[in-house]
Structure 1
């Protein structure tokens, strides 16, 4: 006996939009290419962005925190918060064909209220894309 198929109209049955459009950057060369391109700083996050100028429609995103942020626990917490903010903001505000590197800032990224962190990220993206 096979299990019945799940109805298609149940909320949460479709994959999240994030999994469809965001791709995690893993290669050092991608991080360095973004570092050579545009940069926008906010109180809680630094955003580096580059237009890949290719036919791909996904949004590339990478996360990093230096040891200035704190010990491994603090760095991982900051990166988790940046990942969650990126999942919420980048599908709406980011542009397909672009790579973004989010860099955590010392003591602020891990402790800033999450709604303010999201506002900082959204503001940085608007300023990046407003540049000529």
Structure 2
């Protein structure tokens, strides 16, 4: 069953990103894919690119590329009722778009089979 994925399926709440961090991690050369069940809220996606990657122009370009990749792949290959979060990696913005597309398809396949690393426990809160 294919489901449409667009801007309305974006994850915006920090709590949802933190929950996804406890899910399955599938590292690839250009990104890390996090997949976590979301209790029946449909197929959703999120994108994170840190300041380590580059300036705002570079980060926004990477986010636009990731968004197009997710919109293309999630309807057919995404896990239903799961959150999918892409974390940008150094060098991911320079990678060929077709190669990123192949890597995302491979990562989604691995996630569907349950292959990957288990999630990380939540960080301890900082005290001031």
Q: What is aligned with 1:114? A: 97
Q: What is aligned with 2:4? A: 17
- With normalisation by structure 2, the TM-score equals 0.81
Q: What is aligned with 1:67? A: 51
The counterpart of 1:104, out of the listed 72, 75, 88, is: 88
Counterparts of 1:11-50 in structure 2 under 5 Å? 17-19=4-6, 23-50=9-36
Greater relative contact order (Cα 8 A, min sep 6): structure 1 or 2?
Answer: 2
Q: What is aligned with 1:128? A: 111
Instruction: Name whichever structure is richer in helix by fraction.
Output: 1
Matched residue count? 113
Which 4+ stretches in 1 moved above 4 angstroms?
none
Q: Deviations over 1:16-75 (max 9, x none)?
A: 93349x610000000000001110100011101101233x3x211000101111111111
| Structure 1 residue 129 displacement after superposition | 1.4
Larger Rg: 1
| Structure 1 residue 76 displacement after superposition | 0.5
Structure 1: gaps (5+ residues): 1-15
Secondary structure of 2:46's partner?
strand
Structure 2: gaps (5+ residues): 116-128
RMSD of aligned residue pairs (Cα, Å): 1.9
- With normalisation by structure 1, the TM-score equals 0.79
Secondary structure of 1:67's partner?
coil
